[in-house]
Structure 1
Amino acid sequence: MHASAIRIDTPPFVVGAAVVALVCVAVVPWAWDRWRRRRVTGRVVTTVAAVVAVVLACGSAVNSAGSFYPTLGSLLGTSPDPAEGTVAEGGPDGRDLGRAMTTASDRAGGGRGSLVHLTVTGKRTGMTRDVDVYLPAAYTQPEWAGFRFPVVEWIPHFPGEPRQVATLYGLPEQLDAAIAGHRLPPVVVIVPDPNGEPRLTHDSECVDAAGGPDDDTFLSADLRGWARDHLRVRVDRQGWSAAGWSSGGYCALDLAARHPQWYGTAVSMNGYDVTPHDVQTGDLFRGREDLRRANDVSAILRDHPAPLRLLAIADASAGDECAALDRLRAAAAPPAELTTRVLPAAGHNLATVRAELPDVLNWLGSQLGNPVAGPDVPGQNAGTIPAWPLPDTGSPGALHGTDTSL
């Protein structure tokens, strides 16, 4: 069994870890006077084992409450099957999408969309990442052949990856239900890997870090350019949205605020407005205040107002989430439209995100444009909102200034 199949966020695992910890603690006084020849070694070993067991038990309880590492594989940063949860393979840069359409067409007959796995290599960054693409049932139906579909770019949480959005969030099924219920237009959902391997201690926060890597540029420019060239999607800002949970929520807000020429709407579920500076993230900006401020969503809303429609959700028991909402409310002003929701305390966990998804999809359905007939309009790619000047990170491929080339 691979590490990715071993769940470490379930109640049985937490209870088991607690029982092991209690046994280890009980062994220390019980065996204290029983060590005769190797007394010092035995006492040290049992004491250290008890301490380690208690720390692991506490850690597993915290992990279960927050669903930070759902599997042992996610903790170790291993991914044996990045296509898990998908129904077809699209190949490198989507070269095999044509063959995947056969599977998608068969599923569309039952009103089901299809989640296709592929990899994308960015033209600007040269980065290669796993990407899952949800194609609605309408995408392969003859009557929709001449239409271009709106896009939601769904950013997985750290240390998540695209396959977890399907297997843990149940997003494809939620999308099928929302579209069938006419609460959401037929929409293409692009789920990229925002971090890449290895995941442990590698939280990119979807930003262009000082000197690289250029995660923001990959997620905004590279993915957009790839989708424009390989999918029937809208590329105007009214037809392109970003969304995510936890760190993915911050990513969604930051991408939209930094690139209002490309994004019209964004949703943050239990996210925040500034990058953390901790063990897993480090100092992404190497002390540069201009880069830090250029990735502070509240500061961007004040410094570079744009007609964005944003939804930010917080849990009533999460002080950091509520504080972020307060900062966003204080910063947002017309032409930006900010909707905030504080939900009853339920914890920062996967059960919460699954419960929130239907309402989030409803909100997106009220904001996103419908599929449009006809080919892409030249020049539509840049939208009608000018880009604001991004600071130079020092990395050759990263977006900077008012560069909007894909």
Structure 2
Amino acid sequence: MHASAIRIDTVPVVLTATVIAVVFVVAVPWAWDRWRRRIPGRVGTTLLAVIAVVTACGLAVNASGSFYPTLGSLLGTSPNPEEGTVADAGPDGRDLGQTLATVGDRAASGHGSLLHVTVTGHRTGLTRDVDVYLPVGYTAPEWAGFRFPVLEWIPHFPGEPRQVATLYGLPDLLDREIGSHQMPPTVVIVPDPNGEPRLTHDSECVDAVHGAADDTYLSADLRGWALSRLRVRSDRQGWAIAGWSSGGYCALNLTARHPQWFSVAVSMSGYDTTPHDVETGDLFHGRDDIRHANDVSATLREHPSPVRLLVSADGAAADERAALERLRAAVAPPVELTTWVLPPAGHNLNAVRAELPAVLDWLDTQLGNPVKIGASPPGRTTIGDIPPWPLPDTGTPGSLHGTDTSL
């Protein structure tokens, strides 16, 4: 049995762990003077009791917050990256045409379709799993001559694309919002921001110094692929990025760093600077210029662009509120910042699911509608093209630096 099939968030699992912990705790005094070799025996039973208690408490907290439903989601492994999707469109979407019949059939019953592909980056050479949501209308004859707005959704660490469907329930929410005309028909691209192995491999969506060029993959590579394979808008006003937790930081950072491509970002309980911890490590290896160039507040202050940001924070999360205050202090026109301080609900998936409908409603006011092929996008295009600001060179082959914007 694969780890992703082992549930760890159920009441029986928590109760079993609790009973085991109680047994181990009771065994410590019961066996204290019964060991033939007292010191090893006492140390061993005490250690086992501590581990059992910590495990039971961790499982109880996990179940109450719905953080990781399976052992596989905790470890960041999956035997089936297509889970939650309705069809596989193959490497780089080469079989996309073969899936459109399925997409059309589902659209007839009011459902969009989540497809699985693998995308190899033209610049970086990275190959990652990517899920693509095609809305109702994508295959309809009346929409054949239109390009659709794009929402790039970045999964949280140690998440992967399949969890956005199976844990967030995003496709069903999109169906409901689009079907009730509360959101325009939108193509949603859900990439894997980290790759395997996920445990202790938190990329934070940055171009690491002499490491993986995750930023370049998630911005230039995915954009170039989408423009070549999907009917999506090419203007910056038609592209948004969103995410929760680390995905929220990714959304803010990618938008602030590449305003020539993205105009809207949503950070749900995210932050504004990369952590330096066991899971993330040192992504910048002493390069303060690279670290500074990935500080969202610093970027917005020093390179303000006409981007529209939504940032939410849990009312009881001091770190989230501190990041929100730094962003408030940094922004000035033409940056537009909307902030939400939400009632305390914890940093968990239940809070994400509760917040998502309001986030999608906000995006409805920002994304705009599909645009007829060959026509100029309506709305906020009077701002004109937004030039890139010069990014420092990380030394990673293929990574974006300077004002290079080639896809």
TM-score of the two chains, using structure 1 as the length reference: 0.95
Residue 149 of structure 1 is matched in structure 2 by 148
1:22-61 correspondence to structure 2 within 5 Å:
22-35=22-35, 37-61=36-60
Distance 1:322 1:11, change over 3 A: farther
**More deviation in 95-104 or 12-21?**
12-21
Per-residue Cα deviation, 1:302-334 (whole angstroms, up to 9, x for no partner)? 000000000001110111111111001001110
Alignment partners' CA distance in 2, 1:77 and 1:162: 11
Partner of 1:339, secondary structure, is strand
Partner of 2:321, secondary structure, is helix
Residue 235 of structure 2 is matched in structure 1 by 236
8 Å contact 1:148–1:375 — kept in the other structure? Answer: no
Alignment partners' CA distance in 2, 1:42 and 1:376: 78
1:94-105 correspondence to structure 2 within 5 Å:
94-105=93-104
Residue 337 of structure 1 is matched in structure 2 by 336
Alignment partners' CA distance in 1, 2:315 and 2:233: 36
1:2-401 correspondence to structure 2 within 5 Å:
2-35=2-35, 37-64=36-63, 67-375=66-374, 384-401=385-402
Q: CA deviation at 1:376?
A: 8.3
Alignment partners' CA distance in 2, 1:122 and 1:185: 28
Distance 1:280 1:65, change over 3 A: farther
1:29 aligned partner, one-letter code: P
8 Å contact 1:250–1:273 — kept in the other structure? Answer: yes
8 Å contact 2:76–2:160 — kept in the other structure? Answer: no
8 Å contact 1:234–1:376 — kept in the other structure? Answer: no
**More deviation in 146-155 or 8-17?**
8-17
Alignment partners' CA distance in 1, 2:102 and 2:322: 46
Partner of 1:235, secondary structure, is coil
Partner of 1:117, secondary structure, is strand
8 Å contact 1:147–1:371 — kept in the other structure? Answer: yes
2:31 aligned partner, one-letter code: A
Alignment partners' CA distance in 2, 1:87 and 1:16: 36
1:99 aligned partner, one-letter code: Q
1:341 aligned partner, one-letter code: W
8 Å contact 1:243–1:252 — kept in the other structure? Answer: yes
Alignment partners' CA distance in 1, 2:56 and 2:202: 24
**More deviation in 3-12 or 155-164?**
3-12
Alignment partners' CA distance in 1, 2:32 and 2:90: 60
Q: CA deviation at 1:61?
A: 4.0
The number of residue pairs the alignment matches comes to 401
Distance 1:259 1:141, change over 3 A: same
Alignment partners' CA distance in 2, 1:164 and 1:189: 14
Q: CA deviation at 1:288?
A: 1.2
2:386 aligned partner, one-letter code: I
Alignment partners' CA distance in 2, 1:103 and 1:272: 39
Alignment partners' CA distance in 1, 2:60 and 2:318: 20
8 Å contact 2:132–2:188 — kept in the other structure? Answer: yes
8 Å contact 2:87–2:115 — kept in the other structure? Answer: yes
Alignment partners' CA distance in 2, 1:65 and 1:322: 23
2:262 aligned partner, one-letter code: Y
Distance 1:134 1:22, change over 3 A: same
Distance 1:58 1:331, change over 3 A: same
Alignment partners' CA distance in 2, 1:388 and 1:66: 40
Identity of aligned residues (%): 74
- Stretches of structure 2 lacking an aligned partner (at least 5 in a row): none
Partner of 1:138, secondary structure, is coil
Alignment partners' CA distance in 2, 1:265 and 1:39: 64
Distance 1:301 1:289, change over 3 A: same
Alignment partners' CA distance in 2, 1:271 and 1:9: 24
**More deviation in 22-31 or 142-151?**
22-31
Per-residue Cα deviation, 1:91-119 (whole angstroms, up to 9, x for no partner)? 00001111111110000001110000010
Q: CA deviation at 1:54?
A: 2.1
Q: CA deviation at 1:53?
A: 1.3
Q: CA deviation at 1:11?
A: 4.6
Distance 1:14 1:375, change over 3 A: farther
Partner of 2:361, secondary structure, is helix
8 Å contact 1:68–1:159 — kept in the other structure? Answer: no
Distance 1:372 1:397, change over 3 A: same
Q: Give the root-mean-square deviation of aligned CA atoms.
A: 1.6
Q: CA deviation at 1:62?
A: 4.5
